[in-house]
Amino acid sequence: MQKRKLGNSGLEVSALGLGCMGMSFSYGPPKDKQEMTSLLRAAVDRGITFFDTAEVYGPFLNEELVGEALAPFRYRVVIATKFGFDLSPNFDPRGMKGLPGLNSRPEHIKQAAEGSLKRLKVDVIDLLYQHRVDPNVPIEDVAGAVKDLIQEGKVKHFGLSEAGVQTIRRAHAVQPVTALQSEYSLWTRTPEKEVIPTLEELGIGLVPYSPLGKGFLTGKIDENAKFDSSDFRSTLPRFTPQALQANQALINLLASIGERKKATPAQIALAWLLAQKPWIVPIPGTTKLDRLDENIGAVSVELTADDLRDIETAASKITVEGARYPEKLEQMTGR
């Protein structure tokens, strides 16, 4: 497995990480713990060293799963987790409908970090992200709280998720930001306009989540797909039958490039991301071993300048239908 560095931080990880959310949260009921433990360990065996979780996934279940599964490999892997939601006892975790309120007050960040340390079975968190920007707490206070945790030896690196350019700059001035995690793929290209140039300027890595469009870019989902109410895609405008049908043009593009490269649509989608910048590390999630192997295969797919130009030309003619989130969730991004 190739390695990459997240910006100028010196944090080196596998070129592809593993998003662990779907093992416990948002995509139907939590999966079998033993099966997911085996999958996480298989990922380590295949050279993946970068694992992504968060306290809200479950809540707490996902960190416990990841912590236990990866305990034997602690010094071979980098585990990223996140704080920033108010996980009160009455929070209902079924899908994203019951999403809790935001809380990035410094005392809450420190409490969240202590909880994550215990659940992950580690004495230091490799990368700690603010999950969503909290408009009620100055980002300088957030960065300052994480800076304190870094000075105490409880956290190594600070990250942001779905933050806007001004927030990134203000946070970075207080405590250098190692990575920004935001949705980025061929069907969500929002970061290209302002965010990616800012990250390049400041030396911050980009960790695209949903690099396969929540499964859509695998080519296995069409307008006939049915999503259970426990699957948060059932609430997303981009996953209505009309939007899925309209967006098939993107799958046709990936499939045509895939034929040329002897690769699947998913592999082309990931290879395209890897080709954008050397400091981009996508974190596709999966609960299946064959999908894990398929995703890892993307690292070996080399897209030439001609391939990239062909993708760009074709993609520029495709208008992606549907918002990526319902309005309440969309408002939490780009702040």
Residue numbers annotated as active site: 57
The answer to whether the CB of 79 falls within 8 A of the CB of 66 is: yes
Amino acid present at 261: K
The answer to whether the CB of 239 falls within 8 A of the CB of 229 is: no
**Residue 249: C-alpha distances to residues 170, 175, 187, 194, 216 (Å):** 39, 42, 11, 26, 12
For residue 169, give both structure tokens. Answer: 């700059």
Q: List all residues 6 or more positions away from 313 whose beta carbon is below 8 Å from its beta carbon.
A: none
Q: Helix, strand, or coil here: 208?
A: strand
Q: What is the distance between the alpha carbons of residues 281 and 180, in angstroms, rounded to a whole number?
A: 10
